[in-house]
Chain A
Amino acid sequence: MARRKKIDAPEEEEMTSNISSMIDCCFLLLIYFLVATSLVSEKKLDINIPASTQASTSQKPKVDPGNIYVSSSGVVTWNKDLTVGEAYDSSLQPGTPAYLQQRRMDSLVESLKLLKEQAEAVEASPVVMLHGSGKAPHQRIVDVMAALAEADIHSVGLSTAAED
Chain B
Amino acid sequence: MAKKNARSQEEVKSEMDMSPMIDCCFLLLMFFIVNAAQITVSKDPSVNMPNAVSASEMKDANGCIVVNVFADPEVMGAKSAKALEKFNKTYAAYPGTIWGVADGSQNSIGYNSSQAQQLSDFITKQREAMEAKGVKGEQIRLYLRGDADAPWSRSAGAIQAAAAAGVTNIVFGTLPAK
- List A residues at the B interface (Cβ < 8 Å): 15, 19, 22-23, 26-27, 29-30, 33-34, 36-37, 40-50, 52-53, 70, 90, 94-95, 99-100, 103-104, 132-143, 145-147, 149-150, 158, 160, 162, 164
A52 in contact with B146 given A30-B32, A137-B151 (CB within 8 Å) = no
A-B contact pairs, 9 of them (CB 8 A): A23-B18, A26-B25, A42-B58, A43-B174, A45-B171, A46-B141, A50-B168, A142-B148, A142-B172
Residues of B within 8 A of A23 (CB): 18, 21-22, 25
A142 close to B146 (CB less than 8 A): yes
B142-161 Cβ-contact flags toward A at 8 Å (1 or 0): 01011111111111100110
Which of B15, B26, B32, B174 lies in contact with A45, CB distance below 8 A?
Answer: B174
**CA–CA, A95 and B28, complex, Å:** 35
With contact pairs A15-B15, A48-B170 given, residues A138 and B58 touching in the complex (Cβ less than 8 Å): no
Q: A26-B25, A37-B35 are in contact. Are A162 and B153 (CB under 8 A)?
A: yes
Nearest CB of A to B23, in Å: 10
Say yes or no: A46-B56 contact (C-beta < 8 A), given A37-B36, A90-B149, A136-B152. yes
- Kindly state the separation between the CA atoms of A74 and B150 in the bound complex, as whole angstroms: 12
Q: Within the assembled complex, what's the spacing in Å between the Cα atoms of A5 and B18?
A: 28
- B residues bordering A, Cβ < 8 Å? 15, 18, 21-22, 25-26, 28-29, 32-33, 35-36, 39-40, 43, 49-58, 69, 141, 143, 145-156, 159-160, 163, 168-178
Whole-angstrom CA separation of A162 from B135 in the bound complex: 34
Q: Which residue of A lies closest to B163 (CB)?
A: A53
Q: Of A27, A33, A47, A147, which one neighbours B172 at CB under 8 angstroms?
A: A47
Report which residue of A53, A99, A133 has the largest number of chain B beta carbons within 10 angstroms of its beta carbon. A53
Give chain B nearest CB distance to A116 CB in angstroms.
15
B residues within 8 A CB of A104?
Answer: 53
The residue in chain A whose Cβ has the minimal distance to the Cβ of B15 is A15
- With A36-B36, A43-B174 given, is the CB distance from A158 to B159 under 8 Å? yes
Partner of B50, one of A19, A40, A50, A138: A138
A136 to B150 Cα, complex, angstroms = 8
Asked if B52 contacts A160 (CB within 8 A), the reply is no
Instruction: Tell me if B148 and A150 are in contact (CB < 8 A).
Output: no
B174 touches A146 (CB 8 A): yes
User: Which residues of chain B come closer than 8 Å to A37, judged between CB atoms?
Assistant: 32, 35-36, 39
Among B29, B147, B173, point to the contact of A30 (Cβ < 8 A).
B29
Q: Which of A36, A90, A142 is the one whose CB lies under 8 Å from B52?
A: A142
A47 cross-chain contacts in B, Cβ below 8 A: 170-172
A137 smallest CB distance to B (angstroms): 6
